[in-house]
Structure 1
Amino acid sequence: MLKLRLSRGGTKKRPVYKVVVADSRFARDGRFIEKVGFFNPLLPKEKKERIGLEAERIKYWLGQGAQPTTRVARILGENELMPMPANGNNPQKAIPKKDRKKEGSDEVKKEESPKSDAAPAGEAKKEEAPKAEAKKEEAPKAEAPKAEAPKAEAKKEEAPKAEAKKEEKK
């Protein structure tokens, strides 16, 4: 599968990326088919030298079925080479990390509060345990007749064969 992705270059703590078309099985910084642009994240967003793309080649590869990675799709969307992607892959990325923790803890509290209003946690566990045991008891009963039936059929089939062999020996 062809991917439009970033290939890292530059030095330690000073990355510079090439936008490349590569087979998804190749290493990130390894073999690629064609270089179609560059991206320098250290420059301010206003600078023209931050991103350089070959629009015609990118459109060609998109037409050939190459799939951009999330970051490359954003870069292409900002440069109007394709529609700006919605955070469909990971909706949590739209929420800052600080707010994610707050929302997550509120959800946990909301989930726990109805349980605590209905009954203490110990009682809820006691009610769940008999249900689980009942399910375990039902499962073997349903499977037991199925397991016995083939054995009985096998014995019936073996009996005439055994008798025929005895008669042959006589």
Structure 2
Amino acid sequence: MSLKPSVNSNDHIQGNANAELVIVEYGDYQCPYCGAAYPVLKELMREFGNQVQFVFRNFPLSEMHQYARPAALAAEAANIQGKFWEMHDAIYENQQQLNENLLTEIAEKLSLNMPQFKEDLQSSKLAEKVDSDFESGVISGVNGTPSFFVNGKKFNGGAMDLLELVRENAI
């Protein structure tokens, strides 16, 4: 399966925007497997961030994880204030305590404008962004989280496999 749509300006991008190696993760903030993948992906970016473009797309499995969608919306609301990756990282680093209160606490710790943050959480535009990410995952063949795409092709392996692949092919 291939990635649809391709990485674009609506995506959250970390690393080298011009890298030849593009990794896309479809993730759910409450998924324990995504939580386990998080430190591995951080390591990958520490080692190869200047050679990799890393993209995160929301894929909240709301029926299984009641806080996955609120967390995705919180990250999108933080994005409006330029703090997407800080919120993304803080949610994964505190995944065991994930609930609505935690999301507010993180927003406060990140010094977000709280009235704006709370208003943005209710925004239909943010809900549409999360839904759009989710739909692109479905179209691209994502059937669980985390799901990775490398240069537009579905990668059938976990984060450790991905790190090993990048290490083996490191420039």
TM-score range, shorter chain: under 0.3
Higher relative contact order (CA 8 A, sep 6+): 2
Larger helix share, 1 or 2: 1
TM-score between the two structures when normalised by the length of structure 1:
0.22
Give the structure with higher Rg (CA).
1
TM-score between the two structures when normalised by the length of structure 2:
0.22
